[in-house]
Amino acid sequence: MSTTAAAPVPIDVNGTEQVPMSRLAAVEFRKALDTRAGRWFAGSILGLCLVVLTIYAFAAPDSDKDYEDFLSIGGGVLGYFLPILVIMLVTSEASQRTGLVTFSLEPRRSRIVLAKFIAGVGLAATVMVLAAVVAVVGTVFGQLSGASPEWTVDGNLAFNGFVLANLIGIFVGFAIAMLLMNTPAAIVGYFAYSLILPIAVGFLGFLSDGFEKVAPWIEFNTAQEPLFTGDYQPTGEEWAQIAVAGTIWLIIPLVLGIQRLLRIEFK
Amino acid sequence: MITVEGLTKAYGGFKAVDDISFVCQPGRVTGFLGPNGAGKTTTMRVMVGLTPPTHGRVTIGGHLYRDIPNPGRHIGVLLDASAQHAGRTGREILSIGAKTMGLPESRVDEMLALVSLNDTEARRRLGNYSLGMQQRLGIAHALLGDPSVLILDEPANGLDPAGIRWMRTLLKGYADRGGTVFLSSHLLHEVELIADEMILIGNGRIVAQGDKTSLLAMDTNVSSLVMSLDNARLITALEQKGYTAAPEGEGLRVNCAPADVGRVALEAQVVLTDLRSGAAGLEDLFLELTSDSQRDVLTEGATA
């Protein structure tokens, strides 16, 4: 392949492979954990998981100390904090200005976006596995405190309540991070979305019956509740609510966020 | 080599870079000189694809930057040494760069040794680095992939005099081996000593370019600075020959070449104690050419 512009001193790039996606993703994975903030945050999430489950092991009634109980509580703790790790991974490119280097080493930005998605999912998978291990520890503590726990895990809980709910959380983190591209703002935005919004919706639902019926269609946290409560198996209508609210709160922000990341000028 | 063709970058109505064209040749250090806000950084950002141009284009070795696979292996870039995560260690910053480019970890050690950052310093977080150390790390990062083109924005910024000399030797050696070096600075003395070729930019436009000799030749006002044991007699003798002499400092400024002054002094038998060319140096030229975009207006004679 020759270039159309007849440059007097061309650089031969034919012998150079582009950076493989696996390497980009591995680098992004490493970047999430190689800073003091990243390492401490990941450690703290697991530490918090352990503390919460230990307290639960000694405080809860013996009949509620099955492995499933510990897994769903651990999943809940993760669900709140895992997206922040992803937010830091994305927003640091602008807030810590590492984007100058990242995007001059790989100017095709969409590849970096994909690498970050892969790294984020990989990160979530790693932390989930570790949390599942912590849940084992919690269950053993429960056993020591006198309970006789069940070790079986319902597939719906494992997939819907633990894996799917956390993956959704991570992609919400991606969307908020890319839209705001600023670490503190994105973290505040995330908590506004995950803590304040459901409370506001609950309050409005309390005031008006009509709103309570509409809420799961337009508020994503409310829509996701069937994933990690009850029998962990949303009904057809509940899946539809997840899809509708998910389009509003996840798909649209994610698309806008990616567009923004592809265009923004990293200064 | 780097080719800039009719490059314009406008932000709204403001033209940060206004229709500039130039070429950086391999084997030469090209200095990009201009006051703060003249458009140097914007030009460099367009070069490496971080900022899309409004008009025109930049090719490096015949390619647009975004078309170069694994660009770190061909082009070394340092835009801002402090634009790194403050919580990452120096070594880790180089390691993730090396990993992205597909280089072995041993390359990181080589680069740390090259820029004289020792093991203890490499283990410290960037947030604790001095400006000079950040700059060294940034240069190490730019050189990681053994590129044939270097693009460095204000690389000497924050280096101590020994560090500036070190960098000068490094970049000269790099260019002598056939590399293309393009570096910017707002400090003339830095560029004057290292650059083979200079491009002067002010208000987004190129005001002059060429090597040092051809730039100095732009100054057509011939003058000399002279001191003697009897200035009054020398003035009279000079004025008889039709030259004008005006007192300047402890001596005189004359509107002719030093040789003419020497001849007049010889004939008038005045003992000279100092005689040299009074031509404006590069600094005066630089200030004059970029005067439109200088923030501080210099009054005549304020600089001795």
Q: Summarize pLDDT for B173-182 with one digit per residue, the tens.
A: 999 999 999 9
Nearest to A107 among B49, B86, B148 (CB): B49
CA dihedral A161, A164, A170, A173 (to 10 degrees): -80
Residue B296 has a pLDDT of: 67
Whether residue B302 is predicted with pLDDT greater than 70 in this model: the reply is: no
How does the average pLDDT of chain B come out, rounded? 89
What would the pLDDT profile of B30-42 be if each residue is shown by its tens digit? 999 988 889 999 9
Tokens of A92: 């640091």
Whether residue A3 is predicted with pLDDT greater than 70 in this model: the reply is: no
Quick one: average pLDDT of A21-28? 96
Is A251 in CB contact (< 8 Å) with chain B? no
Is A207 in CB contact (< 8 Å) with chain B? no
Is A19 in CB contact (< 8 Å) with chain B? yes
Domain boundaries, chain A: 21-263
Is A260 in CB contact (< 8 Å) with chain B? no
Contact B97 A105 (CB under 8 A): yes
Residue A261 has a pLDDT of: 92
Taken in order B54, B56, B61, B67, the sign of the CA dihedral is positive
Which comes out higher in pLDDT, residue B122 or B284?
Answer: B122
Tokens of A237: 């209508």
What would the pLDDT profile of A179-204 be if each residue is shown by its tens digit? 999 999 999 999 999 889 988 888 88
- Report the chain A residue with the minimal C-alpha distance to residue B79: A100
Whether residue B124 is predicted with pLDDT greater than 80 in this model: the reply is: yes
Is B102 in CB contact (< 8 Å) with chain A? yes
Contact B71 A104 (CB under 8 A): yes
Angle between helix A165-180 and helix A109-144 axes, rounded to 10 deg: 140
Residue A4 has a pLDDT of: 42
Quick one: average pLDDT of B277-283? 75
**Partners of B31 in the beta sheet?**
B183, B198
Quick one: average pLDDT of A250-260? 94
In our burial notation (b when 16+ CB lie closer than 10 A, e otherwise), range A201-235 reads beeebeeeeeeeeebbbebbbbbbbbbbeeebbbe
Contact B61 A23 (CB under 8 A): no
Other CB atoms within a 10 A radius of the CB of residue B151 amount to: 28
Whether residue A241 is predicted with pLDDT greater than 70 in this model: the reply is: yes
Quick one: average pLDDT of B137-156? 95
Integer Cα distance of A36 and A9 in angstroms: 44
- What's this model's pTM, rounded to 2 decimal places? 0.85
In our burial notation (b when 16+ CB lie closer than 10 A, e otherwise), range B162-200 reads ebbebbbebbbebbeeebbbbbbbbebebbbebbebbbb
Residue B297 has a pLDDT of: 60
Chain A residues within 8 A of B62 when measuring between CB atoms: 3, 5-7, 9-11
Integer Cα distance of B7 and B201 in angstroms: 13
Is B49 in CB contact (< 8 Å) with chain A? yes
From A139, A155, A136, A156, select the one nearest A147 (Cα to Cα).
A139
Integer Cα distance of B219 and B200 in angstroms: 15
Query: Phi then psi for A164, rounded to 5 degrees?
Result: -65, -45
Residue B293 has a pLDDT of: 62
Instruction: Give the domains, in start order, of chain B with CATH numbers.
Output: 2-216 (3.40.50.300), 224-277 (3.30.56)
Q: How many residues are there in chain A? A: 267
How does the average pLDDT of chain A come out, rounded? 89
What's the gap in Å between the CA of A249 and the closest CA on chain B? 30
What's the gap in Å between the CA of B237 and the closest CA on chain A? 57
| Complex ipTM value | 0.87
Distance of CA A15 to the CA centre of its chain: 38
Nearest to B74 among A3, A11, A36 (CB): A11
